[in-house]
Amino acid sequence: MQELAPQAQEVLREIIETDQIGLLLQQQAVIHADLGYNITAKVSDKMNQLGIE
């Protein structure tokens, strides 16, 4: 999360709070996860709505 731009960090924080996410891992650290846990599309959609690239 540190390498994200401040605006992207805020989007991520908002989604974490709204969805009550208790743990967030980088994809490289995960051996297996159900696709329902992937929030990439949600983060991308929110960033697009705000005009963040």
Give the pLDDT confidence of 24-50 residue by residue, as tens digits.
999 899 999 999 999 999 999 999 998
Given a contact cutoff of 8 angstroms between Cβ atoms, the answer to whether 17 and 39 are in contact is no
* DSSP conformational letter for 32: -
| pTM of the predicted structure, to 2 decimals | 0.77
- With a CB cutoff of 8 Å and minimum separation 6, the contacts of 16 are 24
Shortest CA distance to 46 belongs to which of 9, 20, 3?
9
pLDDT at 10: 93
**Rounded CA separation 42/48 (Å):** 10
